[in-house]
Amino acid sequence: MLATATIEKNAYDVALENFDLAADALGLEDGLRAMIKYPERVLQVSIPVRLDSGKIVRFEGYRVQHNTTRGPAKGGIRFHPNVTADEVKALATWMTWKCAVVNIPFGGGKGGVTCNPKALSLGELERMTRRYASAILPLIGPEKDIPAPDVYTTPQVMAWIMDTYSMNKGYPVHGVVTGKPVSLGGSLGRNEATGRGVFYTTQSSAEHLKIPVKDARVVVQGFGNAGSIAANLFHQAGARVIAASDTRGAIWNAKGLDVPAAMAFKDRTGSLAGFPGAEKITPAELLALECEILVPAALESTITADNAASIHTRIIAEAANGPVTPEADRILDQKGVFLIPDILCNAGGVTVSYFEWVQDENHLFWDEQDVNRQLEKVMTRAFADTLKIYLERKATMRLAANMLGVSRVAEAARVRGLYP
């Protein structure tokens, strides 16, 4: 007999499968599919780094430009032990559709280094970052490919990339990366932007479903930049954040966690584990909690065919990229869960990255209220555009967002035409 255990696809297979579903639903012709489906450029680089001990070790790095039809490639850089060429290709592909969904004039890109940044000293991290930046230097630039933070990369890492690029050029180039420190041409509100976008799109979803956000039970998986800031905004809006987790464990309090205290605790100790005023639960128990809003804010493929049936939520807000597999999508859809797909839900980050790039190019900076106001406008419009397709085509929200993103890129490719 054949084994019945589910074999999950890798992230790039998922990205290609979701593209095909959208292209089929749009009736996209084969020629256009061939033009926009695959990455335009894939660069793999070798990164030797001298450790503090004097020993030299080598890391593998990547930069992928998936599509530049609508504008320069745009997307973050990830430092994580699980980074692979296929993961970076998947993340770059999703950036293309994401930028199109929020209708900003960027294509999609992504970078990554396979490493454990938590095991590196600050000096080692800086040397690795600068060597990686040097290796991808021919590809990046404010007019062609603009990196930003992603998992385990920070404004400081962006500052080192900006400096490395600028030293090589011989003059300061602020617009080569976004998510920089504000003191270096970063945008106010960029650090909070992903979490803020998650909050706005969830608010719009709750309104559509007539679920009050006040008193709603919220569960957050992953308490990094996106997860913790979204959690705090839900907390401020009167929702009850009943559970949260990070790589070291999960915590639960049915009355609602004191989110600012949890954030301060994590800042101080590096983890949520041992946070007073909450009980320890397992990561599996966290995902199965009954709630109104579940926010997967960690990595890809955390909700799969194996655990989707145990989920009890009304809304899933994908703060992470690719947290729900296609098999899990189908199970959740049957259960009537309303899913806010990643390329819509977490697009607040890249939207404010766009504002940052505009500010850098214009040498004119906005105040935080203007940033947040413009962000809310962009996210609300993208949500409405997606919901329209969802309702008119009786599609899932994932398919609707992919249709919106793919159709905008396809239309741009059509009018540009094929060179030569």
Q: Report, as residue numbers or ranges, the catalytic residues.
A: 110
- Side chain identity, residue 276: P
Tell me the closest approach of the beta carbon of residue 262 to ligand GLU, in angstroms: 23
Give me the torsion for CA of 143, 34, 45, 342, rounded to 10°.
70
**Site residues, ligand GLU (CB under 6 A):** 74-76, 148, 150, 178-179, 321, 346, 349-350, 353
| Pairwise CA distance, residues 158 & 356, whole Å | 13
| Pairwise CA distance, residues 17 & 20, whole Å | 5
Reported as type and span, the H/E element at residue 327 is: helix 326-334
| Pairwise CA distance, residues 289 & 292, whole Å | 10
Tell me the closest approach of the beta carbon of residue 110 to ligand GLU, in angstroms: 8
| Pairwise CA distance, residues 129 & 413, whole Å | 34
Q: How many CA atoms within 13 Å lie on the side-chain side of 160?
A: 19
| Pairwise CA distance, residues 37 & 191, whole Å | 31
Please identify, using beta-carbon distances, which residue of 110 and 314 lies nearer to ligand GLU: 110
CA of residue 332 relative to chain centroid, distance: 21
Q: Which residue is nearest to ligand GLU (CB)?
A: 76
Tell me the closest approach of the beta carbon of residue 52 to ligand GLU, in angstroms: 29
Tell me the closest approach of the beta carbon of residue 27 to ligand GLU, in angstroms: 29
Please identify, using beta-carbon distances, which residue of 140 and 400 lies nearer to ligand GLU: 140
Strand, helix or coil for residue 404: helix
DSSP string, 73-137: EEEEEEEETT--HHHHHHHHHHHHHHHHHTT-S--EEEEEEES-GGGS-HHHHHHHHHHHHHHHT
- Sheet arrangement for strand 56-67: 41-50, 56-67, 108-114, 73-80, 145-149
Please identify, using beta-carbon distances, which residue of 124 and 145 lies nearer to ligand GLU: 145
Spatial contact of 260 and 235, defined as CB atoms under 8 Å apart: yes
Distance (Å) of CA 395 to CA 18, 115, 244 = 13, 39, 31
Spatial contact of 303 and 326, defined as CB atoms under 8 Å apart: no
Q: How many CA atoms within 13 Å lie on the side-chain side of 402?
A: 25
Tell me the closest approach of the beta carbon of residue 134 to ligand GLU, in angstroms: 20
Please identify, using beta-carbon distances, which residue of 114 and 191 lies nearer to ligand GLU: 191
Tally helices (H) and strands (E) across the chain: 14, 12
Please identify, using beta-carbon distances, which residue of 74 and 235 lies nearer to ligand GLU: 74
Distance (Å) of CA 191 to CA 55, 171, 180, 253, 339 = 35, 26, 9, 27, 24
Please identify, using beta-carbon distances, which residue of 165 and 265 lies nearer to ligand GLU: 165
Strand, helix or coil for residue 316: strand
Please identify, using beta-carbon distances, which residue of 256 and 349 lies nearer to ligand GLU: 349
Tell me the closest approach of the beta carbon of residue 191 to ligand GLU, in angstroms: 11
Please identify, using beta-carbon distances, which residue of 160 and 265 lies nearer to ligand GLU: 160
Tell me the closest approach of the beta carbon of residue 346 to ligand GLU, in angstroms: 6
Tell me the closest approach of the beta carbon of residue 369 to ligand GLU, in angstroms: 21
